[in-house]
Amino acid sequence: MHEEIFLPSTYTTGVPYETFGKLRAESPVARIPEPAVGPWPAGPGYWAVFRHADVKHVLRSPDLFSSNLGATQIRDPDTPEDLAFVRAMMLNQDPPDHSRLRRIVAAAFTPRAVRALEDTISARARTLITSALNEDTDFVELAADLPVWTLAHIMGVPDSDRRLLYDWSSRVIGYQDDEYAGLSTADAASMSPMAREATKYRPALTRPDGRPVNPRSYTALADMFAYAHALAAEKRKNPSGDIMSRMLEGGLTTQEFENMFFLFAVAGNETLRNGIPGGLHTLLDHPAELARLRADPSLLPSAVEEMLRYWPPVMDFRRTATTPLRLCGQDIDAGDKVVVYHASANRDETVFPSPDRFDITRTPNDHVSFGFGPHFCLGAHLARTQMRAVFRELLPHDITRTGTPVRLTSNFQNGLKHLPLHLAPTP
């Protein structure tokens, strides 16, 4: 039944690419069970889609495969109220509502807008890498600062409060991992007064009956929304042209504003938080390709694309069938969960010759790590810019792993929790 595809524990030792390959060949659309995991109850199961062409078909067909009906995570929301909350988020909407919200924020992520940030991002990346030279460092922690810092800059979040974005993201994307679920790293003493006030609303992780609080519920993020409204009040008094000010001027309802803040604060940094450490880990596992890149830094853009293909930061996304249909010989009922596996599609041998080979010159490279169709990642250009900035700064230095990398327990995020390194300037 291939329940290992669903189990978060599977991914602590690596993405099951061998199983994906067998399924692409034998059962490209397969029924996967959802057994109970720890305190999380069992689910009804879902249809998993493994081939590149079929993944693209699902993602570009919101009329058949909805992001809105059941949202985009494998687990069903716990209550009707939780479902209503997540359905209001842009990530979980279908056209035309999705298109309207996307237009409001799209200006912040155009190539022109990102180019205006390039020097700032490069300077920040240089500062981060320089600060770690001649030191033992956990590269996951080091690299996580860049997307959080960039998002805080774009959103107009005070620098003193940016660590809150990291903690909120950890709580949501790492809820299956005990280390990440309760992470709290923001220093209250250095926060702004509005941040200190908002943290008073941080909820407990468990209910009175001992069951876990749904990490993607309004209740679980009460402190984040308290902060969002406090920041909004400041922006209304002193608009500054950042994305928060634009959103407030764009006619969003209160609920839409809250969910857009959630999307930026959480989804906005997960790709880079996983992709940068994963990319470096992959390069270190392939020293010939690392040497090739150092010898010819002009290969960096294609190398970044191959890192994204080989180490997709997000492994899967859910849709819900809107009507009875047939896909790869399987009859799917209206209301069934349909989960596309980007990680499998990126190794499809009909699209990528020698898909298990890491090749920094691979072209074309039609990976789906940023999705496809109407929900193609709005921040893809910004993510690529940040990845290039970090690796441009890393390439001149000697990089030595000083410990065993530790993977995140998650069936959604392809992440490392720890990547111990020593960075030394090249003589």
Put simply, whether the predicted model's pTM sits higher than 0.85 gets the answer yes
Strands 337-341 and 397-401: unpaired
Decide: residue 340, CB within 10 A, 0-12 exposed, 13-18 middle, 19+ buried.
buried
* pLDDT value for 1: 61
In 135-243, DSSP assigns E strands to 135-138
* pLDDT value for 144: 92
Compute the half-sphere exposure of residue 245: CA atoms within 13 Å on the CB side of its CA: 13
Cis ω for the linkage preceding 96 (within 30 of 0): yes
Architecture of domain 3-425: Orthogonal Bundle (1.10)
Which DSSP helix (H) or strand (E) runs through 231? Answer: helix 222-237
* pLDDT value for 70: 96
* pLDDT value for 297: 97
pLDDT in tens, the chain (427 residues): 699 999 999 999 999 999 999 999 999 999 999 999 988 899 999 999 999 999 999 999 999 999 999 999 999 998 999 999 889 888 999 999 899 888 877 877 788 888 888 999 999 999 999 999 999 999 999 999 999 999 888 888 999 999 999 898 888 888 888 888 877 888 889 999 999 999 999 988 788 877 788 888 888 889 999 999 998 888 888 887 777 787 777 777 777 778 788 888 887 788 898 999 999 999 999 999 999 999 999 999 999 999 999 999 999 999 999 999 999 999 999 999 999 999 999 999 999 999 999 999 999 999 999 999 999 998 899 999 999 999 999 999 999 999 999 999 999 999 999 999 999 997 7
